[in-house]
Structure 1
Amino acid sequence: MAREVTDSDGITWSCIQAFAGLGKDAEKTEAARVDGSRNRFHVVCTPSGGAKSVRVELPGDWEKGLSDEALLRAIHEELARQP
């Protein structure tokens, strides 16, 4: 399930766990897990307006347990790391 958040620039980010479209079996879930981490997963966030998507590492409960502010902070921190 995708989660959407809108930042202060009016950009709506649609975020979904990596490999989520491939099914719910354990192998697909494991593919999204961050190496060496028990409860962190790769999440792909795609902005409205055609800008570049980013991949962030978030806790397993990111869909419901992570605030919008924390999700946007992770997105913008990743954007700042990119050339």
Structure 2
Amino acid sequence: MTKQREITDQANTLWTCVQAYAGLDSKTAEQATKLAETEDGIVTVVCTPSGGAQTVRLELDKSWLEEISDEALAAAIESADSGI
């Protein structure tokens, strides 16, 4: 099962965030995830909006799914979406 998070930002856009490669079969996903993780434990997370905004890629700590608050995730999306 793909692990993902859904959050709604201040503009009421629903974002679905998933770690890159998480949709692949488990053995392939596990290998791809290990290869994509940096030495510092940073992984790529792709967040897709429900509305007119564009998909954003974030570089987050590998514990993002459990440990990053919705507010911090929304702030990271906003920063990436505005090009900051």
User: Considering only aligned residues, what root-mean-square deviation do their CA atoms show, in Å?
Assistant: 1.6
Which of 22, 27, 30 in structure 1 is aligned with 2:31? 27
Which of 69, 72, 82 in structure 2 is aligned with 1:70? 72
Q: Which amino acid aligns with 2:37?
A: R
Shift of 1:50: 4.1
Any stretches of 5+ residues in structure 1 without a counterpart? Answer: none
- Work out whether residues 17 and 32 of structure 1, in 8 Å CA contact, stay in contact via their aligned partners in 2: no
Q: Which amino acid aligns with 1:15?
A: C
- Work out whether residues 47 and 77 of structure 2, in 8 Å CA contact, stay in contact via their aligned partners in 1: yes
Partner of 2:53: 51
Q: Which amino acid aligns with 2:36?
A: A
More helix by share: 1
| TM-score normalised per structure 1 | 0.84
Instruction: List, as ranges, runs of 4+ consecutive aligned residues in structure 1 with deviation greater than 4 Å.
Output: none
CA distance in 1, matches of 2:42, 2:20: 12
Any stretches of 5+ residues in structure 2 without a counterpart? Answer: none
- Work out whether residues 11 and 48 of structure 1, in 8 Å CA contact, stay in contact via their aligned partners in 2: yes
